[in-house]
Copies of this chain bind each other. A is one copy, B any other.
């Protein structure tokens, strides 16, 4: 089984972090392939960047020409999952939704701790559209930019622990989701500090993607995610025009 996991930004070190976390969680027989978009922002923090990243991820996936069994979109609260589902015949798992689903199996309510305050509304909107927001106690921001997770991991852990504790004490969360692909690997530290289960979206997505592949299930093509109709699409894939 081969699972593609797409970073949503162009920072390759973050792709490596995500890949490492995914590979560590996967069962041994599963191959994880990390992909980095060819264009777009170095980190995704807002709608403009997220829309651009959505297209860049789709562009990157359609140019991958080896066989694969599932795709994971490793951006938290980002646009684009529905487009991938239309284009592909294999299951597509978004880490935002995977984390929420796993959290809902573990406790009655969950909170998400993300990076910047401006990411909060996007995550809330993605959870609402996914129909997974009813048991979401809160989405909190640790107040640090995505790239700082790598630059200063100790400070990042402290800030995330602080918000996770507030989520449990004040928002009555029973589980905490790490709301950024770049937080992969921090789950145990945060869990030790808070006493509740901590769900990393990348890990959750790997488990769900593996499960779907084993069950032989893939995206319904009946209506919402039917294959695009044949038509003239100028400039696609976009990377073919860049060279």
CB distance B42 to A231 under 8 Å? yes
The reply to whether B222 and A168 form a contact with Cβ atoms under 8 Å apart is yes
Taking the full assembly, how many copies of this chain does it contain?
A: 6
Interface residues of A in 204-221 (CB under 8 A from B): 204, 207-208, 210-212, 214-215, 217-220
Given known contacts A106-B219, A215-B207, A223-B108, A48 and B86 CB-to-CB distance under 8 angstroms: yes
Contact call B219/A86, Cβ cutoff below 8 A: no
What's the nearest-Cβ distance from chain B to residue A213, in Å?
A: 9
Question: Are A108 and B224 within 8 A (Cβ)?
Answer: yes
> What is the CB-to-nearest-CB distance from A135 to chain B, in angstroms, rounded to a whole number?
4
Instruction: Report the minimum CB–CB distance from A206 to chain B (whole Å).
Output: 8
User: Bound state CA distance, A117 and B172, in angstroms?
Assistant: 10
- The answer to whether B228 touches A49 (Cβ under 8 A) is yes
User: Are A211 and B215 in contact, with the CB atoms below 8 A?
Assistant: no
Give A contacts to B, CB under 8 Å.
10, 25, 27, 38-43, 45-52, 54-56, 58, 79-80, 82-83, 85-87, 91, 93, 97, 101-102, 104-109, 117-118, 120-122, 125, 128-135, 145, 168, 172, 174-175, 195-197, 199, 203-204, 207-208, 210-212, 214-215, 217-220, 222-226, 228-229, 231-236, 238, 241-242
Give 25 CB contacts A-B under 8 Å: A40-B235, A41-B232, A41-B233, A41-B234, A42-B233, A45-B229, A47-B85, A48-B83, A48-B86, A52-B58, A52-B233, A101-B101, A101-B104, A102-B211, A104-B131, A105-B212, A106-B217, A108-B225, A125-B129, A131-B133, A197-B220, A207-B208, A207-B212, A207-B215, A241-B241
